[in-house]
Amino acid sequence: MANTIKSKVYNLLERSSAGNRLAQQIDAVLIVFIVVNVGLAVLETEPSIGDVFSREIFLLDFVVGSVFAVEYLLRLWVSDLHPPLKKYGSLKARLVYALQPLTLIDFLAVMPFWLSLFFAGISWKSLVILRLLRFLKIARYSPAVRSLISAVVEEKKAIIGSLVLIFGVALVAATLLYSIEHAAQPEYFGTIPAALWWAFSTLTTVGYGDVVPVTALGKFVASIVMLMGYCLFALPVGIVGTAFAREIHSREFVVTWGMVATVPLFERLSAVEIAAVTELLHSHSVPAGQYICEKGEDGDSLYLIASGQVEEVFERHRVVHNEGEHFGEASLFGHSKRTASAIARTPAQLMVLKMEDLRRFMDRKPAVAKKIIAEAIDERKAHHVDVEFTP
């Protein structure tokens, strides 16, 4: 009986919430809680609100803190049901689970409040920044935040390069204006760090106007700096904007560790390895009746079904795949064309593993890749695919 409850809780919290109304409602309630809670932490600093309603705010803080604590403990409790954690003892399984990034965020969102309750010396009210940590939980539900992180990680070299460039230009601008305006406005341009404040507010086109050059030469140089800021603006737009626009459509729902952990293909992977694979997967929602891939196309992805049903149409027969199953893995070996079309029979959520990403991943972690491929071969021995990987 306890086990039935446990597995129900597991399904509610850790499986994809698509197609499960109760799970979706729980998600919605948790998001409302986060928003209300963060809103109150902000408003409390306003004396006219904070002083009058301090009791009510504390009460709500207590309720939200309790809900999050219960959610956290429930997740820990059921964590040994995740397939890859089953092999461990129940304590180790929980420890491994507790160290997943999203679980750590849950922990950070919940702990400060309880610490402040138990240790009299800490004033919860003054720990505003810690209370904002709860806002981080919203990342759990936001594909856009995931996409931005992905875009930033993928373009990190370009972004660092641009920042070096912007910083270099700011440095030169500040030094020039320090030399020029030094004598005229010692209170604003007396040192280079002070001039850097002007340079940043000008280059980013914010332009507060609290510090402004007054000499003719200073204004001339400042005009050039403004034009450069205007042009350098193109760099983040070109890099982040393009990468984000590309990523945003490849993450239509958030792929969680729990969803990946239930896929048989990744059965042999350790918990940490699954976390790494989670980062690789893109996600797509498809309506019923839509073609996912067509026969004869270049196969460049493996598809995992997070929810829904997909039908593969071969020349002579059809195969139906359900939640947790995968298809299209032939594309991961050699450069084969698709041998079947795949159509969504119901609205479906797919996790997509691109061959290109897998190759890059294999290069970094050959051990993990070997396990995935071995599992894929085992599962479909019947499939006549010439595995010709050169690792």
Task: Please give the residues from 198 up to 217 whose contact with a copy of itself meets the rule CB under 8 A.
Answer: 200-202, 204-210, 212, 216
Q: Build a one-symbol-per-residue string for 129-148: x at contacts with a copy of itself by CB under 8 A, - elsewhere.
A: x--x--x--x---xxxx-xx
Burial class (CB in 10 A: 0-12, 13-18, 19+), 169: middle
43 touches a copy of itself by CB under 8 A: yes
Q: Which of 19, 83, 324, 347 binds a copy of itself (CB under 8 A)?
A: 347
Residue 306 and residue 18 in contact, taking contact as beta carbons nearer than 8 Å: yes
Residue 312 and residue 321 in contact, taking contact as beta carbons nearer than 8 Å: yes
Least separation in angstroms between CB 352 and a copy of itself: 17
How many Cβ atoms from other residues are within 10 Å of residue 94's Cβ?
Answer: 19
Least separation in angstroms between CB 350 and a copy of itself: 15
- The footprint of a copy of itself on this chain (CB under 8 A) covers a number of residues equal to 93
Q: Which of 27, 233, 357, 379 binds a copy of itself (CB under 8 A)?
A: 233
Least separation in angstroms between CB 390 and a copy of itself: 5
Distance of CA 37 to the CA centre of its chain: 22
331 touches a copy of itself by CB under 8 A: no
DSSP reduced 3-state for 80 = helix
- Positive or negative CA dihedral for 120, 121, 124, 129? negative
Q: Which of 196, 305, 351, 353 binds a copy of itself (CB under 8 A)?
A: 196
336 touches a copy of itself by CB under 8 A: no
What token pair was written down for 283? 């996600």
In Å, how far are 6, 112, 121 from 94, measured between CA atoms?
14, 21, 31
314 touches a copy of itself by CB under 8 A: no
Residue 87 CB-half CA count within 13 A: 6
Q: Which of 125, 345, 365, 370 binds a copy of itself (CB under 8 A)?
A: 345
Q: Which residues, numbered 155-184, are part of the site for a copy of itself (CB under 8 A)?
A: 155, 157-166, 168, 171-172, 174-176, 178-179
Residue 159 and residue 152 in contact, taking contact as beta carbons nearer than 8 Å: yes
293 touches a copy of itself by CB under 8 A: no
Q: Which residues, numbered 50-109, are part of the site for a copy of itself (CB under 8 A)?
A: none
Residue 300 and residue 354 in contact, taking contact as beta carbons nearer than 8 Å: yes
28 touches a copy of itself by CB under 8 A: no
Least separation in angstroms between CB 241 and a copy of itself: 3
Q: How far apart are CA 385 and CA 289, in angstroms?
A: 28
